């Protein structure tokens, strides 16, 4: 079974996975993310090499925290890992790996993983958010990752309190993440006089009934509720999937769910679900993208039919019919076109002949197939050529500007595609038959 590698580069840790097509994790690895750019790049190479070992993989997916251009592989801006700003990851990684590489924002990878693997495609319209140090988000609309012009969806940076004094890492004030992420929760706890090192300790205190801990969580939940209600009002998703460290604090989610009903416009509840894949989710999503890009959506040649119509007038052979193409590449060509889904080759040949020449063809027989990848400048197509007979009124239509009869010795000098070769082959066969 084919395998792919996924990498998730985050602010504090970087994870690597080797997965199969069903998202099963075959190997995993976790590193602390170094601070300097050179060390980060070194770690990426080392991590991928270790996880790959001698495996053959279809590709490598990189989920990176920040505004990554998935076409070029350039990181424009990473609020959480500033060392990688303006890094051209594609150029660097190409030197170390011959495998094909795909890039995506880490939160988008998280959304893909939870959508496809975690929740097995159950929700076609779903918003996935990570509540940790910062709030990341990915948007699945009609089963597809929605990215706008490339950088959607940064729900963590929607401004939910523009009068706030809190400046976000992005430079704005009152962002959702600045008011409802892990840092915000810890800040509130400390302000209330609690001496806790992290949010796990805080959650434990709250479970034991500590009033201050509960207060810090409730205050954070009220901002979380505003953000979630905005998401529901804008997207009306079938569910919101929540991951990251804060998703494990049950009281926080419970309070937020209760509170957000005050703000939602449609009076029905939207399930707020916990992410299923844990720490390795985004890396799994990155690897799934490699499958999507390099295996599932792999390009295949198109199938076409072309028809050599031997035209007869009062039972006398007059020549073959060529059409003048209306669209690019313009010029003379044999009648023909793409086979439609659910259609036999013969049916396609009859349909195309009728559409382009107005003729009902008879005595139809298969000639040869032509498959040179370069035969069609618009992309690789395979043409199965038919020979048929016809007579009657010629009426050009569909892709044909004109249709007329050419005697074999009087063909136009130039023909589109490889149609010259096709006609030559047909002529050779005709000569042999005599």
Closest CA to 225 of 276, 180, 286, 162: 180
How big is the chain by its Cα radius of gyration, in Å? 31
Closest CB to Zn ion among residues 172, 230: 172
Distances (CA, A) of 210 to 42, 182, 250, 273, 363: 45, 19, 15, 26, 89
- Beta carbon of residue 182, minimum distance to Zn ion (angstroms, whole number): 15
- Beta carbon of residue 162, minimum distance to Zn ion (angstroms, whole number): 12
Closest CB to Zn ion among residues 175, 403: 175
Closest CB to Zn ion among residues 165, 431: 165
Our finding on whether 3 is near Zn ion (CB under 5 A) is no
Which range touches Zn ion (CB under 5 A), out of 167-175, 280-288, 361-369, 416-424? 167-175
- Beta carbon of residue 184, minimum distance to Zn ion (angstroms, whole number): 12
Our finding on whether 157 is near Zn ion (CB under 5 A) is yes
Which range touches Zn ion (CB under 5 A), out of 100-108, 149-157, 301-309, 318-326? 149-157
Closest CB to Zn ion among residues 163, 410: 163
Which residues in 336-355 contact Zn ion (CB under 5 A)? none
Distance CA 25, CA 284 (A): 8
Closest CB to Zn ion among residues 132, 336: 132
- Beta carbon of residue 154, minimum distance to Zn ion (angstroms, whole number): 8
List the end-to-end C-alpha distance of the chain, in Å, as a whole number. Answer: 54
Which range touches Zn ion (CB under 5 A), out of 49-57, 140-148, 154-162, 331-339? 154-162
Closest CB to Zn ion among residues 157, 419: 157
- Burial readout 382-408 (b: 16 or more C-beta within 10 A, e: otherwise): bbbbbbbbbbeebebeebbeebebbee
Which residues in 169-208 contact Zn ion (CB under 5 A)? 170, 172, 175
- Beta carbon of residue 49, minimum distance to Zn ion (angstroms, whole number): 35
Which range touches Zn ion (CB under 5 A), out of 49-57, 143-151, 152-160, 210-218? 152-160
Q: What DSSP state is assigned to residue 30? A: E
User: What single string gives the DSSP state of each residue in 201-242?
Assistant: HHHHHHHTT-HHHHHHHHHHHHHHHHHHHHHHHHH--SEEEE
Write phi, then psi, for 354 (nearest 5 degrees): -65, -45
Closest CB to Zn ion among residues 154, 255: 154
Which range touches Zn ion (CB under 5 A), out of 117-125, 151-159, 292-300, 381-389? 151-159
Q: How many other C-beta atoms lie within 10 A of the C-beta of residue 12?
A: 11
Closest CB to Zn ion among residues 166, 276: 166
Closest CB to Zn ion among residues 155, 284: 155
Please report, to the nearest 10 degrees, the dihedral formed by the alpha carbons of residues 354, 360, 365, 368 taken in order: -30
Our finding on whether 168 is near Zn ion (CB under 5 A) is yes
Q: Give the count of residues interacting with Zn ion (CB under 5 A).
A: 5
Which range touches Zn ion (CB under 5 A), out of 68-76, 131-139, 150-158, 290-298? 150-158
- Beta carbon of residue 175, minimum distance to Zn ion (angstroms, whole number): 3
Which range touches Zn ion (CB under 5 A), out of 41-49, 153-161, 367-375, 393-401? 153-161
Strands 362-370 and 381-390: antiparallel
Strands 302-313 and 381-390: parallel
- Beta carbon of residue 283, minimum distance to Zn ion (angstroms, whole number): 25
Distance CA 331, CA 328 (A): 8
- Beta carbon of residue 170, minimum distance to Zn ion (angstroms, whole number): 3
DSSP-H helix ranges across 192-333: 199-207, 211-235, 250-260, 281-291
- Beta carbon of residue 166, minimum distance to Zn ion (angstroms, whole number): 9
- Beta carbon of residue 191, minimum distance to Zn ion (angstroms, whole number): 21
Which range touches Zn ion (CB under 5 A), out of 20-28, 164-172, 240-248, 275-283? 164-172
Are residues 332 and 322 in contact, defined by beta-carbon separation less than 8 angstroms? yes
Closest CA to 385 of 346, 415, 413, 356: 346
363's torsion region: left (phi>0), alpha (psi -120 to 50) or beta?
A: left
* 144-145 β-sheet, strand order: 144-145, 134-141, 126-132, 239-243, 272-274
- Beta carbon of residue 176, minimum distance to Zn ion (angstroms, whole number): 8
Distance CA 67, CA 74 (A): 9
Closest CB to Zn ion among residues 116, 168: 168
- Beta carbon of residue 157, minimum distance to Zn ion (angstroms, whole number): 4
Are residues 75 and 64 in contact, defined by beta-carbon separation less than 8 angstroms? yes
Closest CB to Zn ion among residues 164, 172: 172
Structure tokens at 337: 């076109």
Contact residues for Zn ion, defined by CB under 5 A: 157, 168, 170, 172, 175
């Amino acid at each position: 079974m084919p395998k792919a590698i996924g990498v998730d580069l985050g602010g504090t840790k970087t994870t690597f996975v080797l997965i199969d097509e069903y998202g099963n994790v075959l190997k995993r690895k976790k590193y602390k993310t170094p601070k300097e750019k050179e060390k980060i790049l070194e770690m990426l190479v080392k991590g991928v090499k270790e996880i790959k070992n001698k495996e053959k993989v279809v590709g490598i997916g990189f989920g990176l925290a920040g505004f990554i251009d998935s076409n070029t592989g350039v990181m424009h801006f990473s609020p959480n890992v500033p060392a990688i700003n303006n890094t051209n990851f594609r150029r660097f990684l190409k030197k170390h790996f011959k495998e094909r590489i795909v890039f995506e924002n880490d939160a988008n990878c998280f959304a893909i993983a939870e959508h496809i693997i975690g929740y097995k495609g159950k929700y076609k319209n779903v918003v996935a958010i990570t509540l940790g140090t910062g709030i990341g988000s990915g948007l699945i609309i009609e089963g597809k990752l929605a990215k706008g012009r490339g950088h959607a969806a940064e729900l963590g940076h929607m401004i939910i309190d523009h009068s706030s004094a809190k400046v976000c890492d992005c430079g704005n004030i009152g962002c959702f993440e600045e008011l409802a992420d892990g840092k915000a929760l810890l800040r509130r706890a400390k302000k209330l006089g609690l001496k806790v090192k992290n949010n796990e300790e805080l959650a434990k205190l709250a479970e034991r009934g500590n009033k201050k801990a509960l207060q810090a969580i409730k205050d954070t939940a009220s901002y979380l509720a505003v953000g979630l209600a905005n998401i529901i009002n804008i997207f009306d998703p079938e569910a919101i999937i929540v991951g990251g460290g804060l998703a494990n604090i049950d009281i926080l989610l419970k309070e937020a769910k209760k509170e957000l009903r005050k703000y939602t416009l449609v009076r029905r509840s939207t399930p707020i679900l916990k992410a299923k894949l844990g720490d390795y989710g985004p890396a799994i999503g990155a690897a799934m993208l490699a499958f999507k890009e390099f295996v599932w959506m792999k390009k295949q040649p198109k199938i076409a039919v072309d028809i050599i119509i031997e035209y007869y007038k009062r039972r006398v052979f007059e020549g073959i019919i060529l059409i003048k193409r209306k669209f690019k590449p313009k010029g003379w060509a044999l009648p023909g076109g793409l086979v439609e889904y659910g259609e036999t080759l013969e049916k396609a040949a009859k349909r195309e002949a009728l559409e382009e020449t107005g003729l009902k063809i008879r005595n139809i027989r298969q000639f040869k197939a032509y498959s040179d990848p370069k035969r069609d400048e618009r992309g690789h197509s395979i043409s199965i050529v038919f020979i048929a007979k016809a007579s009657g009124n010629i009426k050009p239509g569909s892709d044909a500007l004109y249709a007329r009869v050419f005697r074999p010795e009087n063909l136009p000098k130039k023909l589109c595609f490889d149609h010259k070769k096709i006609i030559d082959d047909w002529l050779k066969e005709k000569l042999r038959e005599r």
